Amino acid sequence: MQDISLHLLDIIQNSISANSTLINISINADKFNNTLKIIIADNGRGMSEELLNQVRSPFITTRKSRRFGLGIPLFEDSTVFSGGSLTINSQLNLGTIVEAIYKIDHIDRIPLGDIGNTITLLLSSEDNVEISLKLICNEKVFEFDTFKIKRDFNDISFKNIEVINWIQGYINEGSKMVFGGVLNEIN
Amino acid sequence: MKSIEELEAIRKKTLDEISLRSNKDGVRIVVGMATCGIAAGARPVMTTFLEELKKRGISNVSVTMTGCIGVCRLEPIVDVIHPDGSKVTYVKMNPEKAAQIVAEHIVNGRVCTKYTIEQEL
């Protein structure tokens, strides 16, 4: 994976397969502590303690078609390579929280990538999931919430390409506004 | 900075249009978007399908993502599923091939046989 947004696209699909209806994503850059923290919290079916203990292994998957699953191991590796870490908390029938931490200025930290594209592709493909995205950098905050958008804009269709293009641009402008000058790939 | 109010104008404009993927009886394009697909470049492929369909004003074709189909070495993989249930599987996709498939297969009804999975088996 070339950037964090691709890992997000991958990991969020785990939430969707777990029948989540609500996915909260927060991306928090703290320039004083030099950390970029990504949290994905869902209300899906969660994992048993047994599965949770094994889930970082590439040889564990819930899928029947193959015997391995690389999504979480690759995500974890990308954090560890930058001096960060990945933690997963989960409770059966309540949901799962994945927390990835990167060191912002580490030479091996992968760039944030096109967060807007990740969110809009998910929106255009999945009808029954509400996604809330929060970008935070010290005092700056940007929020995007499909639940609020659907409430405020009646009958809006996330399947219309003009709508999703606009949302993609909106999110990426937000990302620039929040992370510009702190994450060196965004200026 | 874009303001969220701009969305209202777009909403009004698009209400009259048929939603890009409202027609359940149309062709479905399904892009494999699991770890293997994403790592192989499935995201720009999906984006290209959406853009090309919009460019050509095609409204009865849906584009969705799915998990791993099981032949990771041939990713990115795209299934084009016709209303009668028949299916064409394209492999080792990239944005250029996606644009070509919209022009040839979706618009003209000619399957791009050189990109199908049969070529790899």
Write out pLDDT tens, residues B78-104.
999 999 999 999 999 999 999 999 999
DSSP label at residue B116:
B
Largest pairwise CA distance in chain A: 46
Cβ distance A10 to B7 less than 8 Å, yes or no, reads no
Nearest to A6 among B11, B19, B43 (CB): B43
Q: Which residues contact B107 (CB under 8 A, 6 or more apart)?
A: B56, B58
Residue A137: strand pairing partners:
A29, A140
Tokens of A29: 């850059």
Considering only alpha carbons, which residue of chain A is nearest residue B67? A13
- The sign one gets for the Cα dihedral A105, A110, A112, A114 is positive
- Mean pLDDT value across chain A: 91
Measured in degrees and rounded to the nearest 5, phi and psi for residue B15 equal -60, -35
Say whether residue B20 is in contact with chain A using an 8 A CB cutoff: yes
Any idea what the Cα angle at residue A150 is, between residues A148 and A151, rounded to 5°? 60
| A90: pLDDT strictly greater than 90 | yes
For residue B1, which residues of chain A lie inside 8 Å, CB to CB? 173, 177
User: How many whole angstroms separate alpha carbon A20 and alpha carbon A122?
Assistant: 13
A11-24 confidence digits (pLDDT tens): 999 999 899 999 99
For residue A155, which residues of chain B lie inside 8 Å, CB to CB? 11, 15
Which value, to the nearest 10 degrees, does the dihedral of the CA atoms of residues A61, A65, A66, A68 take? Answer: -20
**How many residue pairs bridge chain A and chain B with CB atoms within 8 Å of each other?**
97
What ranges in chain B are assigned the alpha helix state H? 6-16, 35-40, 42-55, 95-101
Query: Comparing A35-39, A124-128, B35-39, which segment has the lowest mean pLDDT?
Result: A124-128
Say whether residue A16 is in contact with chain B using an 8 A CB cutoff: no
Tokens of B8: 């209202």
Q: In a mutagenesis test of the A interface, which of B10, B12, B35 is the best target, namely the one with the most A β-carbons within 10 Å?
A: B35
- The predicted structure's pLDDT at residue A162: 85
Its ipTM equals: 0.82
- The predicted structure's pLDDT at residue A129: 93
B14-72 confidence digits (pLDDT tens): 776 655 445 556 899 999 999 999 999 999 999 999 999 989 988 788 899 998 888 88
Say whether residue B18 is in contact with chain A using an 8 A CB cutoff: no
The model carries a pTM of 0.88
For residue B2, which residues of chain A lie inside 8 Å, CB to CB? 166, 169-170, 173
- The predicted structure's pLDDT at residue B15: 74
Cβ distance B22 to A159 less than 8 Å, yes or no, reads yes
